């Protein structure tokens, strides 16, 4: 089904259609915009038969002469503050001229355009004229002379709608924007039987999948940390109670933003569920002067009638096609070795070359030099902000080291933490006011570092100058962009007192501008996002950086949960995963080398250890892993993921990746804790072509696709804990 947006003037209804999905609202009497429907595709004519307005006690009427309508119970597209709606608003303004927080937006006009506009200063999904259609709905608060433009885009090949909002001040008075969410959807009464799904956790155990039944009142999650964070994630879903990977309706919301966010669901006394996502209003206040506009980040809304699995695959395909840089979206990524857990800060050129040589010996393609190569960085207390090569460690500079690494047949990558500054640095001594701070307050530190004020152009220009000089000094093909602390004392020396509430968002706008600069200036560099692992794994970063270090916890068993939760929203090509040493440096667990490899292959694959210290057996296993990954990485980059067993509900984890043409698949099963004398069990697969036959590569075994999905593959009794097995299936013509 092609994307289409239809306006029915006789009823004032807007009907948005994309792949097997419909979304509808209408302009009712007095200019209010009523949400009608979001779900499986239906005929537009059916919508008018299901509206029920009624006079309700203690629900005031914005038009006193018409008791049929109250915003207290009306399903709305853009609920505002202070005008008979007691629920959480999508927009809240403050007018210093009269001290009022009231706003009242009503329909003014609309236009429908082919394609999709970009959002000024913000990352957003993109589409060509033939791939999408956009509705721009203009609302107005006449008293304030404020215009609100609601942007809706539908896509031809995906059950996805993107939404955002833009406020423009056409009046004579400055107003303060205290809340502007990107999407607000009011669901009808049957959604009381739904559950809220969220991805929450902490450093080293990011994105646990948590489901909670809806209850009266507000259930919310947010970040006030200046980053999307390890603790919460800018994603929620409403799913039918009992929904699983294959069954049940699911409505997903994901925010294309990397800073403070709010996501919430409010179930009111009439069983209407209001789901919202957008900028966190906490400590946010934007001064909107006459003639100025303010744009919210974009929200991605996705619908699945067939459970969480279909929702995930829709988002994976959509992000590969309309968010990730097209140069990298479906391009296999190089297999790398990172020196961090092998050396930490203690290295020299000879030691690094030795690791690279060992990597070349097993077929790796990229060596990454992590923290410690710059300034006087022998521990984490100094030198952030001084992006100059430490000649004590690397006397020949990067030019010499890169030449030596290239001489081993490997590309070279480098770690940066551009947003941070150490007190013990030349940059801080020269510009102590360049960090985020509030005069007269203590400058809190995390990891012995402060945060540069990226809302300031001169700060960004200095970091861009230093980093560009490094990147131009040698053939560097990969950058790991880290960020290792969250914001405190959020203030800017460059902003007046009445604009300090803008600092955190202006920081993000500045960060995005800098990231755009590097992507533009160094188009052939593969950028990987990182924030102490997965602390900023979000669509905003993914727009600039096609892969993200998923967690600092590289333990294979812990990664089962982390990668499972991450895959709920993001494609495997974005999930950076490495084999590391045992006992694991984060939790001390010992797991088989083969299992570590099988788990890490559920993402962009690499190693994070001293390859020269491997036993002969592990080295041979590594050689086999690299050969195998090169054989299947095209499948893993662009294939469809089906989660088969959840590590959240069992002592197993299993998944299968199937090529779009269903001619190839890779299934993996991991036993977490083995069971004595277990029953005979089979792993039922999904996503295959039932009419095809598949051979298990490396064997003479051939199975029918329908049998693999109805019966499955026999699971052998595991010999110990943490054991994995994989099957590479290829269709037999």
CA–CA–CA angle 682, 684, 685 (5° rounding)? 140
Strands 250-256 and 547-549: unpaired
> What's the rounded Cα separation, in Å, for the pair 15 and 20?
13
* Cβ atoms of 297 and 256 closer than 8 Å: yes
C-alpha distances out from residue 372 to 419, 478, 510, Å: 16, 17, 26
The residues, any chain, with a CB within 8 Å of residue 377's CB and separated by 6 or more, are 345, 371, 383, 384, 390
From the list 455, 327, 353, 330, the residue with the least C-alpha distance to 407 is 353
In the three-class reduction of DSSP (H, G, I as helix; E, B as strand; rest coil), residue 530 is classed as coil
CB-CB contact of 195 with 239 (8 Å): yes
Torsion on CA atoms 599, 600, 602, 603, rounded to nearest 10: 160
Spot the catalytic one: 386, 482, 555, 598: 482
Residue 86 exposed, middle or buried by CB count within 10 Å (0-12, 13-18, 19+): middle
Which residue among 371, 552, 598, 640 is the active-site one?
552
Sheet architecture: strand order including 33-40 = 4-8, 13-18, 21-27, 33-40
Question: How far is Cα 117 from Cα 645, in angstroms, rounded to an integer?
Answer: 40
Q: Is the separation of the CB atoms in 104 and 83 below 8 Å?
A: yes
482 in catalytic set: yes
- Apex 361 CA angle, 356 and 362, nearest 5: 105
Residue 244 annotated among the catalytic residues of the structure: no
CB 62 within 8 A of CB 70: yes
- 379 vs 347, 373, 530, CA distance in Å? 12, 11, 19
CB contact at 8 A, 139 and 106: yes
Residues involved in catalysis: 482, 552
């Amino acid at each position: 089904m092609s994307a289409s947006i239809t306006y029915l003037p006789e009823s004032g209804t807007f009907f948005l259609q994309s792949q097997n999905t419909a979304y509808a609202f209408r302009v009712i009497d007095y200019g209010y915009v009523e949400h009608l429907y979001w779900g499986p595709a239906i005929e537009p004519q059916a919508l008018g038969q299901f509206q029920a307005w009624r006079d309700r006690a203690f629900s005031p009427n914005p038009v006193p002469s018409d008791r049929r309508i109250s915003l207290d119970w009306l399903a709305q597209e853009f609920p505002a503050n202070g005008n008979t709606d007691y629920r959480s608003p999508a927009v809240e303004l403050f007018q210093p001229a009269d001290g009022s927080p009231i706003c009242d937006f009503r329909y003014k006009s609309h236009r429908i355009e082919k394609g999709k506009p970009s959002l000024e200063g913000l990352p957003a999904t993109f589409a060509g004229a033939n791939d999408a259609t956009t509705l721009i709905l203009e609302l107005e608060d006449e008293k304030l002379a404020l215009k609100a433009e609601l942007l809706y885009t539908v896509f031809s090949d995906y059950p996805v709608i993107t939404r955002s909002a833009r406020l423009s001040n056409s009046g004579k008075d400055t107003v303060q924007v205290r809340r502007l969410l990107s999407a607000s959807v009011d669901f009808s009464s049957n959604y009381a039987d739904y559950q809220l799904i969220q991805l929450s956790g902490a450093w080293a155990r990011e994105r646990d999948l948590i489901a909670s039944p809806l209850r009266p009142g507000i259930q919310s999650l947010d970040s006030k940390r200046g980053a999307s964070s390890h603790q919460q994630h800018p994603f929620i879903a409403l799913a039918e109670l009992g929904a699983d990977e294959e069954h049940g309706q699911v409505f997903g919301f994901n925010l294309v933003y990397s800073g403070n966010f709010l996501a919430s669901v409010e179930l009111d006394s009439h069983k209407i569920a209001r789901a919202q996502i957008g900028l966190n209003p906490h400590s946010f206040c934007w001064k909107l002067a006459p003639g100025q506009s303010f744009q919210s980040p974009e929200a991605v809304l996705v619908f699945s009638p067939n459970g969480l699995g279909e929702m995930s695959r829709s988002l994976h395909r959509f992000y590969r096609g309309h968010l990730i840089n097209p140069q990298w979206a479906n391009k296999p990524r190089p297999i790398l070795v990172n020196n961090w857990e092998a050396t930490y800060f203690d290295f020299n050129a000879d030691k690094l070359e030795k690791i690279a040589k060992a990597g070349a010996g097993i077929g790796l393609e990229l060596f990454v030099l992590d923290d410690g190569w710059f300034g006087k960085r022998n521990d984490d207390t100094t030198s952030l902000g001084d992006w100059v090569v430490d000649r004590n460690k690397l006397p020949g500079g990067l030019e010499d080291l890169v030449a030596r690494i290239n001489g081993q047949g490997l590309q070279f990558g480098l770690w940066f933490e551009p947003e941070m500054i150490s007190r013990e640095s030349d940059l801080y001594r020269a510009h102590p006011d360049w960090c985020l701070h509030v005069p007269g307050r203590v400058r809190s530190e995390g990891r012995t570092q402060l945060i540069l004020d990226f809302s300031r152009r001169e700060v960004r220009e200095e970091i861009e100058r230093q980093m560009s000089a490094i990147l131009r000094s040698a053939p560097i093909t990969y950058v790991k962009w880290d960020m290792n602390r969250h914001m405190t004392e959020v203030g800017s020396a460059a902003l007046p007192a009445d604009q300090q509430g803008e600092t955190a968002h202006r920081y993000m706008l500045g960060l995005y501008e800098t990231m755009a600069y590097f992507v533009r200036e160094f188009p052939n560099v593969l950028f990987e996002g990182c924030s102490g692992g997965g602390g900023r794994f979000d669509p905003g970063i993914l727009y600039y950086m096609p892969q993200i270090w998923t967690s600092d916890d590289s333990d294979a068993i812990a990664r089962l949960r982390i990668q499972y939760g991450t895959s709920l929203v993001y494609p495997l090509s974005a999930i950076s995963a490495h084999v590391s040493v045992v006992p694991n440096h984060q939790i001390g667990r010992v797991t088989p080398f083969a299992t570590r490899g099988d788990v890490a292959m559920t993402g962009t694959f690499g190693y994070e250890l001293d390859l020269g210290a491997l036993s002969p057996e592990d080295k041979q296993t590594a050689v086999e892993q690299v050969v195998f990954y090169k054989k299947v990485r095209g499948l893993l980059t662009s294939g469809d993921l089906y989660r088969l067993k959840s590590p959240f509900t069992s002592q197993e984890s299993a998944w299968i990746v199937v090529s779009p043409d269903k001619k190839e698949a890779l299934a993996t099963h991991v036993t977490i804790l083995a069971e004595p004398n277990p029953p005979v069990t089979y792993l039922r697969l999904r996503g295959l072509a039932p009419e095809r036959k598949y051979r298990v590569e490396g064997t003479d075994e051939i199975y029918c696709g329908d049998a693999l999905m109805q019966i499955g593959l026999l699971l052998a009794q595991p010999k110990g804990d943490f054991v994995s097995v994989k099957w590479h299936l290829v269709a037999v013509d």
